[in-house]
Structure 1
Amino acid sequence: MSPSRFLLAVLVLAAAVDLASLAAGFDAGHTATKPLLMPLLAFWAVLRRAPRPLVAALLFGWGGDVLLLFDAEPAFLAGMASFAAGHVCYLILFARYGSRYTVPRTRAGLLALGYATALVTTVTLLWSGLPADLRLPVAAYSLLLTAMAYRAAIRLGLFAGLGGALFLLSDTLIATGAADWPQPPRPDFWIMLTYIAAQGLLACGTLGALNARRAPAATYGEMRAA
């Protein structure tokens, strides 16, 4: 087994243990496994020749994961800031390595309208339920997250776009909890399930898009060598 496949197997196992712990209400299992997930994904991405902004985004996600383990408002704000830095890294990644022609212009416009509507609606509905000192940080973070989700879809294609959408869903679940909205059973399970899937799809979507672009160049090089 190659190192990257071994690492991927370890990552899948850690994610399964984390989600099972959340489903069973075993807090110690979640506390032990959650901080392992993004470093494992980042290391796997490095072995797959990931660009630096992707690795940085995953590591900032790890910082947010660790900070959100602490049930205190300062830790929540610091965790949100760490995730925000990760979204900035993703936006840099999409600008440097994305394609302008992944999504037709008309579809990109409809997607932008949909995301803008979701952003305004969500922030408006959550506003009164959020603590006063969280309202502006949550609104600013939501704008950045929505921009990341939109750019993922139009610059890197389906898998990265799904990853961005799931990231938006995961963080919306966190925000509704902060606003004391009714929550599904085991909300932390659904938050982590969508979050793990989001980061995995963003990483795989990025690497898949880059590998697809490297392949024609390699073929051309082989033809010249022949």
Structure 2
Amino acid sequence: MTLGAERLVEGRAPQRSERLARVFLVLFWCAVVADLGCLAADLSLGHTLAKPLLMPLLALHVIVRGGPRLQVAALLFGCGGDVLLLLDADPAFLAGMASFAAGHVCYLLLFRQQRAPRARAAWTAGVYGVVLVALVFLLWPGLPADLRIPVAGYSLLLTAMACGSTRLGPVAGVGGALFLLSDTLIATGIADWPQLPRPDLWIMLTYDLAQFLLTLGLLDALRTRAAATEPREASTVTS
């Protein structure tokens, strides 16, 4: 094979990967629309079938894009939580919460690789700290006694993830905030607060957007960091 042919093959491989990544992203949004439509129409079977497809499709998008394993793991732990929350039982709820918590740990490990200005980090941590204390204080009386400690512990981890997501910029930061909002809507339902019509619809809408924006923010941050290191590596090879 000639040098020109080799370069042509090398150029086609990334193009195929990009096309495949777009296919998985389109399938993800198709599953999102189907799931939200089923929730709006109160079609429980359709929701049960569509919900488990969401995070695996987004994970496949990340894999094809060459994203980190921790990001894939976070999405798959999210899928585990999604499936477990379909079961109407307290043990399944706790197991689902544990699965989501594992996903938050994966996200936190990824966020640690990104640096943020100290002043902004301190301000953001302060705001999220106030939000955490307020949420736990307000929700505590309405939560079942056996769920108070697990929910409080999970809320701490969730808030830390949302706070850490701001290190990647506004896109991931909004994703982290939406994840916090989505799980807060779940917690208000458990605490018997007044709910919006079709509460599951709003929970899934904010959750789907959260996972997508976190994924987009992470992939963009890694791509930016890789682009920044390439000139340094090239100059090192040249010297």
TM-score, scaled relative to structure 2: 0.88
**CA deviation profile, 1:7-50 (whole Å, cap 9, x unmatched):** 11111111111011111111111111000000000111011111
Match of 1:12 among 1, 10, 29: 29
Tell me whether 105-114 or 177-186 shows the greater mean CA deviation.
105-114
Task: Name the counterpart of 1:204.
Answer: 216
RMSD: 1.4
The within-5 A match list for 1:2-151 is 2-95=19-112, 97-98=113-114, 100-101=115-116, 104-151=117-164
**CA deviation profile, 1:56-87 (whole Å, cap 9, x unmatched):** 11000000000000011111000000000111
Work out the CA distance in 2 between the residues paired with 1:20 and 1:198: 18
**CA deviation profile, 1:148-195 (whole Å, cap 9, x unmatched):** 111111x21111111110000000000000000000010000000000
Per-residue deviation, 1:144: 0.3
List gaps (5 residues or longer) in structure 2: 1-15
Tell me whether 214-223 or 144-153 shows the greater mean CA deviation.
214-223
Work out the CA distance in 2 between the residues paired with 1:216 and 1:119: 36
Output the amino acid matched with 1:138: V
Per-residue deviation, 1:220: 5.3
Find the residue that maps to 1:128 and give its secondary structure. helix
Output the amino acid matched with 2:141: S
TM-score, scaled relative to structure 1: 0.93
List gaps (5 residues or longer) in structure 1: none
Which of structures 1 and 2 has the bigger CA Rg? 2
Match of 2:182 among 143, 166, 170: 170
Q: Percent identity?
A: 62
Tell me whether 169-178 or 3-12 shows the greater mean CA deviation.
3-12
Work out the CA distance in 2 between the residues paired with 1:64 and 1:204: 21
Per-residue deviation, 1:222: 6.3
Q: Are 1:160 and 2:181 an aligned pair?
A: no
Output the amino acid matched with 2:55: M
Work out the CA distance in 2 between the residues paired with 1:121 and 1:52: 34
Work out the CA distance in 1 between the residues paired with 2:229 and 2:123: 33
Output the amino acid matched with 1:106: A
Task: Specify which structure has the bigger relative contact order, considering alpha-carbon pairs within 8 angstroms and separated by 6 or more residues.
Answer: 1
Find the residue that maps to 2:142 and give its secondary structure. coil
Output the amino acid matched with 2:139: L
Output the amino acid matched with 1:127: W
Work out the CA distance in 1 between the residues paired with 2:143 and 2:54: 29
Work out the CA distance in 2 between the residues paired with 1:94 and 1:108: 12
Work out the CA distance in 1 between the residues paired with 2:24 and 2:135: 37
- Count of aligned pairs: 220
Q: Are 1:179 and 2:203 an aligned pair?
A: no
